[in-house]
Amino acid sequence: MPQITGAGSISWKLTWNIDLFLMKESDLYQPLKQFLESQGYEVKGEVRECDVIAVRGTEDPVIVELKLSINLGVVLQAVDRLSMSSAVYVGVPISCSALKRQRRHIFKLFKMLGLGLILIDPHANSNGAQVLFDPGEYRPRKSKSRRERLLGEFAKRIGDPNTGGQEKRRGIMTFYRQRALRIAGFLQENGPSRVRDIAKELDDSKAGDILYKDVYGWFDRVSRGVYTISPRGTQEVPLWII
């Protein structure tokens, strides 16, 4: 697979404030063409459905789709080009706002799909393009701790209290919230109680931690080791009872 990483170096201070409304995708072509030609490629624009094609010897052709921003449309377009070459890049201006907002997620997605990414400065006299990364096989780094937390929450959560895709503004019923609700229910029924009695009755050795941290504001400390339900808890807990 052709590798074009590192041959260009953009001055990042130049044009972050470019007005994208005045820019055209074609403004990105000449800086990119000069960049590729400096590495021995023959470059032509608008070949069949591709914005830029660069050919060097018998290597896979380099295909670059020029866009002013990164969205689902350009991703689908670039993936389609993979049927013609393994060296497919998306070229965007250095002022691309999507890249500034979601840089890490965009990098991860592109690498997962086997796409490369090039930054282009349309106003640079030289070194107007920089390859952030080349296309390559994606090898995600597995997180054992995240996997364990995921499966742990799945196993401990009682029932299936949430609807997939639901609005999260109100909150999600987690195993932690279920435990807090059990404690709140106990306090509503029994009034102010000692932590050790709550933990014993509910068979929850971590009840004291939940009461002390009071993540949801549902509990009030009456005295050392004694808690009661708070006014907020009295108001909110019934809303979670299904």
128 contacts 10 by C-beta, under 8 angstroms: yes
Looking at residue 169, its amino acid is R
Domain ranges of the chain: 20-133, 144-163+170-240
In the block, residue with structure tokens 């914005």:
51
CATH topology classification for 144-163+170-240: Arc Repressor Mutant, subunit A (1.10.10)
Q: How many CB atoms lie within 10 A of CB 85?
A: 18
**How high is the pLDDT of residue 189?**
94
CATH architecture for segment(s) 20-133:
3-Layer(aba) Sandwich (3.40)
The three-state secondary structure class of 18 is coil
Name every residue whose Cβ is closer than 8 Å to that of residue 83 and which is 6 or more positions away in sequence.
none
Q: Are 90 and 113 in contact (CB under 8 A)?
A: no
Pairing of strands 62-66, 50-55: antiparallel
CA separation for the pair 161, 229 (Å, rounded): 23
pLDDT for 184: 95
**Residue 124 · residue 97 · CB < 8 Å:** no
End-to-end CA separation in angstroms for the chain: 57
Integer Cα distance of 170 and 133 in angstroms: 40
pLDDT at 17: 46
**What was the pLDDT predicted at 144?**
85
Q: What is the pLDDT of residue 29?
A: 83
Calculate Rg over the CA atoms of the chain.
28
Spans of the chain below 50 pLDDT: 1, 7-18
Could you tell me which residues are beta bridge partners of residue 62?
Answer: 54, 87
Task: List % helix, strand, coil for the chain (3-state, nearest 5).
Answer: 40, 20, 40
- Looking at residue 217, its pLDDT comes to 95
Please tell me the predicted confidence (pLDDT) of residue 140. 62
